[in-house]
């Protein structure tokens, strides 16, 4: 069902090229996510959304502030928090099956148990028949399914998704959106989802965090009051959807003009 997350005054500074001064990428990020809640992060490029995901995962360390996951401070990467990248990040020398199994191998799961989970994930994301294919032999949409299956195979409580559909064509993106929405309805995870697509954010989310820039900060925490389960066509045709989209656009436009 997921794990609760709590971020308190998270800030991140990176050194400038002169290695003397610094610039602040994130400033005072604070919010809570309930177990199983889906939260999207939207904002202009460079506002620190991906950096924040990396901090929550443990790949980056915050300059200040705290991240608590399931009651414990985040200090390093953990199999309880899984990352889905925009550009697939598959191992080209490993087959579909072997890529999905990677995290389970690192965790040290027994071979029989590992094979069972991998086959379950292959069926879940619609990749039956492609188990022995290499990444260069399958489409971008299929590669992203492999990345999602690799993350879900770990049975994480927290799913971190960094523009997972951003590199896909419109038709593939739409299909994968619907499939992932169905999977997460059946297997809820606490999800932080980075996207530049307002429609996508509304369709998936319980809440949307709108980020400003210079430094990255939360401008508004927007609740999405749409009932679940959601049918994409009906949601996008609704008055509530149009109003939410207009509100998000006004917030983002205001930030871009600063």
Q: For the segment 43-62, what is each residue's pLDDT rounded down to a tens digit?
A: 988 889 999 999 999 999 99
**Topology (CATH) of 5-80+158-256:** Rossmann fold (3.40.50)
Q: For 210-224, what is each residue's pLDDT tens digit?
A: 999 889 999 999 999
Q: Which residue has the tokens 């414990």?
A: 72
| Residue limits of CATH 3.40.50.300 in the chain | 5-80+158-256
Mean pLDDT (the chain) is 91
Strand pairing report for 207-212 and 64-69: unpaired
- What pLDDT does 12 receive? 94
Give yes or no for residue 258 having a pLDDT over 80: no
- What pLDDT does 219 receive? 95
The angle subtended at Cα 183 by Cα 70 and Cα 176, nearest 5°, is: 120
Q: How confident is the model at residue 174 (pLDDT cuts 50, 70, 90)?
A: confident
- What pLDDT does 168 receive? 82
Beta-bridge partners for 64 = 11
Q: For 143-152, what is each residue's pLDDT tens digit?
A: 999 999 999 9
Give yes or no for residue 167 having a pLDDT over 80: no
Residue 139's H or E segment, with its range, is none
Mean pLDDT score, 25-29: 95
- Phi first, then psi: what are they for 98, rounded to 5°? -70, -35
Give yes or no for residue 176 having a pLDDT over 90: no
**Inter-residue contact 179 to 126 (CB < 8 Å):** yes
Residue 189's H or E segment, with its range, is none
- What pLDDT does 198 receive? 93
Q: How confident is the model at residue 187 (pLDDT cuts 50, 70, 90)?
A: confident
Q: For 92-143, what is each residue's pLDDT tens digit?
A: 999 999 999 999 999 999 999 999 999 999 999 999 999 999 999 999 999 9
**Inter-residue contact 7 to 162 (CB < 8 Å):** no
Distance CA 60, CA 64 (A): 12
- What pLDDT does 35 receive? 94
Give yes or no for residue 240 having a pLDDT over 90: yes
Distance CA 207, CA 189 (A): 14
- What pLDDT does 79 receive? 86
- What pLDDT does 178 receive? 87
């Amino acid at each position: 069902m997921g794990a609760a997350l709590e971020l308190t005054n998270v800030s991140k500074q990176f050194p400038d090229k002169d290695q003397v001064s610094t610039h602040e990428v994130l400033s005072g990020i604070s919010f809570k996510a309930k177990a199983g809640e889906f939260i999207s992060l939207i904002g202009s490029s460079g506002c620190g959304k991906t950096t924040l995901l990396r901090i929550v995962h443990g790949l980056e360390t915050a300059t200040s502030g705290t991240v608590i996951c399931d009651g414990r401070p985040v200090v390093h990467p953990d199999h309880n928090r899984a990352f889905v990248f925009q550009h697939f990040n598959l191992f080209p020398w490993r087959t579909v099956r072997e890529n999905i199994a990677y995290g389970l191998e690192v965790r040290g799961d027994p071979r029989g148990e590992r094979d069972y989970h991998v086959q379950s994930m292959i069926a879940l994301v619609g990749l039956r028949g492609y188990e022995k294919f290499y990444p260069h032999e399958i489409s971008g949409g299929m590669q992203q399914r492999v990345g999602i299956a690799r993350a879900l195979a770990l049975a994480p409580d927290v799913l971190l998704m960094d523009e997972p559909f951003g590199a896909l064509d419109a038709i593939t993106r739409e299909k994968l959106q619907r499939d992932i929405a169905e999977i997460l309805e059946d297997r809820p995870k606490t999800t932080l989802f980075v996207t530049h697509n307002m429609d996508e954010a509304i369709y998936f989310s319980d809440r949307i965090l709108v980020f400003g820039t210079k430094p990255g900060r939360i401008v508004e925490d927007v609740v999405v009051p749409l009932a679940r389960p959601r049918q994409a066509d009906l949601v996008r045709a609704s008055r509530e959807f149009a109003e939410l989209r207009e509100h998000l656009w006004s917030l983002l436009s205001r930030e871009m003009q600063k």
